[in-house]
Structures are given as C-alpha cells and as structure tokens.
Amino acid sequence: MSVSYRQPGVVLTDRRFTVPLDHADPTGETIELYAREAVASDKADQELPWLIYLQGGPGGKADRFVGRPGWFGRALQEYRVLLLDQRGTGASTPASRQTLPLRGGPAEQADYLAHFRADAIVRDCEAIRPQVTGGAPWTVLGQSFGGFCTVAYLSLAPEGLSAALITGGLPSLDAHADDVYRAAYPRIERKVAAHYARYPQDVDRARRIADHLLTHDVVLPNGYRLTVEAFQSLGIMLGSGEGSHRLHFLLEDAFVRTPGGHELSDAFQEQAQGLLSYAGRPLYALVHEAIYGQDARPTDWSAERVRAEFPRFDAAKALAGDEPLLFTGETIHPWMFDCDPALRPLRETAELLAARTDWTPQYDPARLAANEVPAAAVVYHDDMYVDTAHSLTTARAIRGLRTWVTDEFEHDGVRAGGPRVLDRLLALARDET
C-alpha cells in the first residue's frame, strides 16, 4: 500500500514495485524496488508530466531531500518526480555483506551481481513506468552513472522517454576499463596539483600522514585498516565543488600530541572512516569496474593494474624523494576488500566479478545515431570522474544531443548549481537556447 506524507512544500508518496531479477527471464526470481514520488504541494491535484531521477554511483540510493532544494525544487515546478532507489540500493532489495550470503557462496553472489548494471536498471524503469505514468513516456534526469543509464535507455528503450537530460555522465560507448583509467590518472594528478596550489601547506601535511601510515599499523574505530593507499584514496573528494576545501580541513588537524608521541587524532580518524567506508554503498565497490565491461575481456582490477603505469602515485617513492604525495580518485582496488570490514567478506565475490568474461555491450551506436528523443547533456570540463574527451565523442554519436561544456562546476554541478543546471538542460532539450 502506498503511503503519502508531507514535507515543507512537497507531498511525498512511498512506492514499491516487483521486477524480475533477470529481465530475460520474466517468470523467474523477482526483487523489490523502492521509489519516492514527489509533487509540489500546490500542484498535488494536477495532471503533470513525470521526471525520473537516476542517481550516480553505481550503488547510490536516490537523494533524500528535505523540502525543495536546488534542481529538485526546479523540477517540481512542472513535473511529478520519481526518485528511484536503483536495484540493490537504499530501500530496494539490498545487496551487501549481510544479505548476499542468502544467495549462496561467492560464485552465486557474483552471478547475482552481474544483473546490477545499467541495462538492468533501464529494464527496471520500463517495467515500472506503466504503473507510474499509465504508459506515457517520461523525462529522465541522469547524474553521473545515472547518465550512463540514460545513454543505455536511449539505446534500449527510447520509446519510454519524452526527453533525456544528462549531468556529468556521458560514457564512452566502447572503451574498456583500462582505457577509462589510463585517461583518469592524468586528470587525477591535475586535480591534486590544483589542490596543492590552493593549499600549499597540505603538501607537508599529506606527506607527514603518509609517512606515519607507512611506519605504523593504524586501525580506525570501525575496524577499517588505514593504509597509505587508503589515505591516498581520499582524493576522490577532489572531484566535487567543495572537495578540495573539505580535504584541507581534514588534513589540518590530523595529529595530536600524546604521552606516547604524536598520533592521528580521534577526530581525524572518525572523519576518515566515514569517508572511506563502503558500508553504506557496497555495490559501488563491487560493480564499479563492471559498468565498463563491454565484451569478453575481463576488467581484472583495471584501476589497480593501470595505476602501475603511473609511478608518481607510488607513495613510498614520493616520500623517499621530495615529490608531493599524490592522492587517487574514483578507483576501486583489491586492497579495499582487505581494509574495509564492510567489504572483507565479499573479497572472493569481487575477484570473480573482476574475472568475468561474459559482459555484453550496453549501448547501441546505431540506435543512438538515429535518436529522436530530445536530449541534452552538461559536460564538466576536466571532470575528475568522467573523461571529457570520451564524453564529447559520445555526444557526437547521439543524434540531436545538445551539449553544454563548462568549467563553472565540478562533477556535482547539478547539486551545487541549484536550479541553474536543470534550467539550462531543459532549455537545450526544448531548443529554447
């Protein structure tokens, strides 16, 4: 039964749906999806078009807004909005260290998780759309990985869309994971250099923390083993608008003096474990490289292998000389499944996913070249998470797609920019600008 309730300026309704685990086997096992329907309070009785929001990730649940902030408030001016918890996330049937053992052993878990990529999410959207809109097409807004899903939507079921809006999420149509990370590491290094240019005092602070971690065994209060590689991975923050500032504030009070000498402060450790733990989004670590699987080649821990081609990211070598420590970015590594207690029981499952050779293409270049759905995308110049060159190549491959390339925002522009980003995308899709 659907339950409705109110927040300031908005009426919310909890919606639940049952969909096949494998859409190729519609009579087989099913899973549950959760979505939150939202409509402006003063429009609750009106017939409005629908917009479905696809969150970034993979493995991220839909935003839990309070009131009508930012792009969400702009969307509510003319749409009913469906905030979907994609399969395995949020209040949908969960996939985590606690629930995956219900599937069986690591092999069964890996087979199950192979159904959690963009193509399955698109099929989920199409399965629930008739129940939500009565069969009418809807507008999709895809952020980051949600943009990958949107391009898959245009490939697999464009008849379900009245418009497609993409923010920081135009994927390469054919790149292997290795290609993605070879393009990523130089971008990450540029972001780190920009951070140190803004906060030069952080060069010494980061080196001091890294040196401490190379010579001490540090286990955070939640059981996370803080290695130097784990510390470097905090660089993922540098891809967001406020990330450089947040990283700076994290580093500035890292040490306290104790009777036994200087140690990492409890405050630093508490913040670090919240940033590093995948307890709230284990799917991100498990299927992140799988989103780049397009053919029979395994991903095979691509980010870890490709990192070896960029020796400047080696912390020990940096500390042995006078080079600044380089942070890393949106990369998943096998050591994470040793360090993070939320991931440790899933290490073998992750290994099996990394070794899979039965990935299939998620995008249809021929169908995209014939696209008739009004579409617009914002491409963030030098986006740390999604390669700009890959995005623009894909933009040229989608018929009628209009792009806005900007360096005004980082990857989180749709959130940081208030209503402006959605305003611009709607205008582009409607040929109003």
Q: Over the stretch 293-336, which tens digit does the pLDDT of each residue have?
A: 999 999 999 999 999 999 999 999 999 999 999 999 899 999 99
Which positions ≥6 away from 317 have C-beta within 8 Å? 311, 323
Q: Over the stretch 104-143, which tens digit does the pLDDT of each residue have?
A: 999 999 999 999 999 999 999 999 999 999 999 999 999 9
Which residues are identified as catalytic?
144, 358, 411
- Contact (Cβ atoms closer than 8 angstroms) between residue 140 and residue 51: yes
pTM, entire model: 0.96
Please state which architecture CATH assigns to domain 3-174+361-429. 3-Layer(aba) Sandwich (3.40)
Handedness of CA 300, 303, 306, 308 (dihedral sign): negative
Do the bridges between strand 261-264 and strand 255-258 make them parallel or antiparallel, or are there none, so unpaired? Answer: antiparallel
Is residue 1 scored above 80 in pLDDT?
Answer: no
pLDDT, position 2 = 80
3-state secondary structure of 263: strand
Q: Over the stretch 224-276, which tens digit does the pLDDT of each residue have?
A: 999 999 999 999 999 999 999 999 999 998 999 999 899 999 999 999 999 99
Which positions ≥6 away from 311 have C-beta within 8 Å? 317
Which sequence spans correspond to the domains of the chain? 3-174+361-429, 177-355
- Least Cα distance to 171 among 159, 161, 183, 160 occurs for 183
Do the bridges between strand 138-143 and strand 50-54 make them parallel or antiparallel, or are there none, so unpaired? Answer: parallel
